[in-house]
């Protein structure tokens, strides 16, 4: 499944280098929770 991750303000440094305009497309497993995605991206 593909999702768009958007981060703002103090969280933008956590985006991958290839992110554009504070967002990135991610391929994630079906059924993933928001909490799991936050952990997967190493977000605080």
What pLDDT was estimated at residue 38? 93
Tokens at residue 36, please?
């799991």
Rounded Cα distance, 7 and 13, in Å: 9
What pLDDT was estimated at residue 42? 92
pLDDT tens for the chain, 44 residues: list them: 999 999 999 999 999 899 999 999 999 999 999 999 999 999 99
What pLDDT was estimated at residue 4? 96
Q: What is the pTM of this model?
A: 0.74
Bridge partner residues of 3 (DSSP) = 26
Rounded Cα distance, 41 and 26, in Å: 10
What pLDDT was estimated at residue 24? 95
Rounded Cα distance, 32 and 23, in Å: 19
């Amino acid at each position: 499944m593909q999702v768009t991750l958007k981060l703002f303000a103090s969280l933008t440094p956590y985006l991958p280098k290839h992110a554009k305009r504070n967002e990135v497309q991610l391929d994630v497993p079906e059924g993933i929770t928001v909490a799991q995605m936050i952990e997967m991206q190493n977000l605080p």
